[in-house]
């Protein structure tokens, strides 16, 4: 019987050896060269700055400088060994005891639940392989571990591992993790801090002190107890470490102008080819204007939003040339990162009448020309004025100031829908703009950023004013990889068109629908309200600043009779008064510069 068992044991051992040998040959064919173990492929770290160099936000993973093993306190390595690979200095890359334990657990469960990985195997995985759970990946991992152990010393393997493993909260490597969680270099880590970082290696997300402090503390205690069991520390040190537990540095705040900086980072592929190089972006943001924009929008939503059925708002401010000075994309960035200033496309309502006015002026009409304000029908479509009020014969200027729908439709039909649509696209609305009969009433969806940029053309004296926020981009070596040219924008509108438009849009703020803007300086703009009060807008400008305000709801639920001339105009006025305190601004009516422009046609 004994001979029978020995014989079959030998057969099984030989068969197993053949299977393992065949698998080793198969999986060794495409193993990566070990020279790549020093290369770290990562997302670039992008730093967004204001014009003065103040850091507004950073994006990407945090990688610390490589540390030498002998620069670290001994308890750092001991904590890692105690919880991750207690027999590290005694095995040759694979731990048969750990593998047997993991294999038994996996067979019992019918799937891979434990890896039994040594620290060397973990290094092989993070350096060369994917996190997938498969027998093929595990076999490659084992083969790579054997090769790593043959090439490097044990201390070199530990250093390579600690300098590139992920600790959570975007931190890769022991130096980055130490600074992110404790605000200090790794060479100054205490015993408790070292144990907490070692505890993160199993599950950087679940055991993260930023996400679950209590769970992280419990895991740290487990690591310290493992260090006692391994003989690295005594019971007294264990208790002292628990008593002297360290406070964790707060996580990077989702605060500041994050809607603005998110928009910046999203645009990067349009400016540079993204690789692994870190980038520093210098922007146009005005910190004081940004704070004021956030303040007035938040105050309006908190005070008047509930009663008016308004839950969201956005504000954009820019210089006449399109340089964005402030941008708020919603009520609360932490609650929703969707940017309502740049990403949301909504119906602009009567603010679109700007393009009706400009197309008419370019066509040859003047603000004093008269049209009939009365009910109108185009086929089965019967647009109506607000509250069904009609004034008979009115000038184009008065019709825009009072936002009379019937006149806007009649002017559009006289000028041609195609010309109105082309004007909107020329000034920056992302086309194509529909050419149907309702175009005059602002049914073509746009963003607040696009619409504010279109009004900026008028503040820029008829020249292009495409919104922009990036002035310069440098790489980690300080080399300029992009720099914005400061040449004037192309002329888009004739001087006489711009001059007449200023007069009409000024009447909107002095005696028209935007009287509540209440700006003491000369101001120009247009209100807008979409169907059923789903959107309310006011976009206006002075000789120095252009700003647009939008209010509405993400689910497009109607507000309670909110119009562009009420809440948006009042918020716009509050922002502009704070942005331009005591300014005595000259009117934009007679100082246009000459230049070629589209010819008049009538």
Query: Strands 470-475, 480-483: parallel, antiparallel or unpaired by DSSP?
Result: antiparallel
Q: So what's the pLDDT on residue 597?
A: 36
| pLDDT (mean) for 257-268 | 91
217-255 pLDDT tens trace = 999 999 999 999 999 999 999 999 999 888 888 776 666
| Distance in angstroms (rounded) separating the CA atoms of residues 133 and 115 | 9
For residue 193, the Cα-to-chain-centroid distance in whole angstroms is 32
**Structure confidence at residue 78 as a pLDDT band (50, 70, 90):** very high
Give the pLDDT of residue 397: 96
pLDDT of 93 over the 70 cut: yes
Q: How confident is the model at residue 41 (pLDDT cuts 50, 70, 90)?
A: low
Helix pair 154-162, 119-128: axis angle to 10 deg: 50
Number of CB atoms found within 10 A of residue 484's CB: 15
What is the reported pLDDT for 277?
Answer: 78
Q: Which residue has the higher pLDDT, 315 or 31?
A: 315
Greatest mean pLDDT among 85-94, 195-204, 544-553: 544-553
First to last CA, the chain: 111
Tokens linked to 125: 């995985």
38 token code pair:
């020093």
Question: For residue 537, which of 235, 313, 320 has the smallest C-alpha distance?
Answer: 313
Count how many residues are written for the chain: 602
Rounded to the nearest angstrom, the gap between the alpha carbon of residue 73 and the centroid of all alpha carbons in its chain is: 38
* Region at 234 (left for phi over 0; alpha for psi -120 to 50; beta for the rest): beta
Mean pLDDT of the chain: 86
**Given this model, what pLDDT does residue 591 score?**
39
- Every domain of the chain with CATH number 1.10.3810.10 lies at 61-243
pLDDT attached to residue 598: 37
Write the pLDDT tens digit of every residue in 142-190: 888 888 888 888 999 999 999 988 898 888 899 989 988 998 999 999 9
Q: What is the pLDDT of residue 66?
A: 86
* Whether the predicted model's global pTM rises above the 0.75 cut: no
Nearest CA to 63 out of 44, 49, 47 is that of 44
For residue 11, pLDDT over 70 is answered with: no
pLDDT band of residue 139 (cuts 50, 70, 90) is low
pLDDT digits (tens, 9 = 90+) for 377-394: 998 889 999 888 999 999
The set of residues, in sequence order, having a beta carbon less than 8 Å from that of 175 and lying 6+ positions away, is 64, 65, 66, 67, 163, 185, 186
Which CATH superfamily hosts domain 288-471+488-579?
Answer: DD-peptidase/beta-lactamase superfamily (3.40.710.10)
Indicate where the chain has its CATH 3.40.710.10 domain(s).
288-471+488-579
Cis amide bond preceding 530, omega within 30? no
Residue 76 confidence (pLDDT) above 60: yes
Note the pLDDT of residue 45. 81
Domain 61-243, architecture per CATH: Orthogonal Bundle (1.10)
Measured distance CA(449)–CA(470) in Å, rounded: 15
Higher pLDDT among residues 357 and 584, named by residue: 357
* Alpha carbons 567 and 152: distance in angstroms, whole number: 68
Query: Is the pLDDT score of 276 beyond 90?
Result: no
CB of 42 within 8 A of CB of 63? yes
Res. 38 pLDDT band, cuts 50 70 90: low
């Amino acid at each position: 019987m004994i001979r029978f068992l020995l014989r079959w044991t030998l057969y099984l051992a030989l068969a197993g050896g053949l299977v393992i040998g065949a698998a080793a040959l198969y999986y060794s064919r495409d193993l990566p060269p070990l020279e790549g173990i020093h290369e770290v492929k990562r997302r670039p770290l992008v730093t967004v700055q204001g014009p003065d160099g103040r850091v507004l936000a950073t994006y990407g993973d945090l990688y610390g400088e490589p540390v030498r093993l002998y620069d670290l306190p001994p308890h750092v390595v001991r904590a890692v060994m105690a919880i991750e690979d207690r027999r590290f200095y005694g095995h040759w890359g694979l731990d048969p005891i750990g593998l047997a334990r993991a294999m038994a657990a996996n067979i019992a469960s019918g799937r891979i639940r434990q890896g039994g990985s040594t620290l060397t195997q973990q290094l092989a995985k993070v350096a060369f392989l994917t996190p997938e759970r498969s027998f093929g990946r595990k076999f490659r991992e084992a083969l790579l571990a054997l090769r790593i152990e043959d090439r490097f010393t044990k201390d070199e393997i530990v250093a390579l591992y600690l300098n590139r493993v992920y600790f959570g909260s975007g931190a890769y490597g022991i130096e980055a993790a130490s600074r992110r969680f404790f605000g200090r270099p790794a060479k100054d880590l205490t015993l408790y801090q070292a144990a907490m970082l070692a505890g993160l290696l199993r599950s950087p997300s679940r055991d993260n002190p930023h996400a679950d402090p209590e769970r992280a503390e419990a895991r740290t205690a487990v690591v310290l107890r493992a260090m006692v069991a391994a003989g690295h520390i005594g019971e007294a040190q264990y208790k002292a470490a628990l008593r002297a537990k360290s406070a964790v540095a707060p996580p990077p705040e989702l605060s500041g102008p994050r809607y603005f900086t998110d928009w910046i980072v999203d645009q990067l592929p349009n400016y540079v080819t993204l690789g692994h190089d870190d980038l520093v972006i210098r922007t146009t943001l005005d910190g004081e204007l940004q704070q004021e924009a956030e303040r007035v929008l938040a105050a309006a939503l908190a005070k008047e939003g509930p009663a008016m059925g308004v839950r969201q708002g956005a504000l954009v401010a820019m210089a006449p040339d399109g340089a964005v000075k402030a941008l708020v994309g919603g009520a609360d960035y932490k609650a929703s990162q969707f940017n309502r200033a740049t990403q949301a496309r909504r119906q602009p309502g009567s603010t679109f009448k700007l393009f009706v006015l400009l197309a008419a002026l370019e066509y040859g009409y003047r603000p004093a020309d008269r049209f009939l304000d009365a009910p109108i029908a185009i086929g089965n479509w019967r647009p109506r004025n607000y509250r069904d009020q009609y004034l008979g014969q009115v000038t184009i200027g008065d019709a825009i100031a009072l936002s009379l729908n019937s006149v806007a439709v009649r002017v559009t039909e006289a000028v041609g829908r195609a010309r109105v649509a082309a004007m909107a696209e020329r000034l920056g609305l992302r086309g194509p703009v529909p050419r149907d009969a309702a175009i005059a009433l602002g049914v073509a969806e746009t963003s607040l950023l696009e619409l504010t940029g279109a009004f900026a053309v008028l503040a820029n004296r008829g020249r292009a004013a495409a919104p922009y926020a990036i002035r310069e981009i440098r790489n980690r070596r300080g080399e300029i990889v992009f720099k914005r040219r400061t040449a004037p924008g192309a002329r888009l509108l004739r001087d006489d068109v711009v001059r007449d438009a200023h007069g009409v849009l000024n009447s909107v703020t002095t005696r028209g629908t935007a009287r509540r803007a209440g700006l003491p300086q000369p101001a120009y703009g247009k209100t807008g309200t979409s169907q059923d009060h789903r959107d309310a807008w006011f976009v206006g400008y002075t000789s120095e600043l252009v700003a647009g305000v939008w209010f509405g709801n993400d689910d497009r639920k109607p507000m309670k009779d909110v119009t562009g001339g009420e809440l948006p105009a009042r918020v716009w006025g509050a922002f502009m008064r704070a942005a331009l305190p005591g300014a005595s601004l000259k009117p934009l009516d007679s100082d246009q510069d000459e230049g070629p422009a589209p010819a008049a046609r009538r």
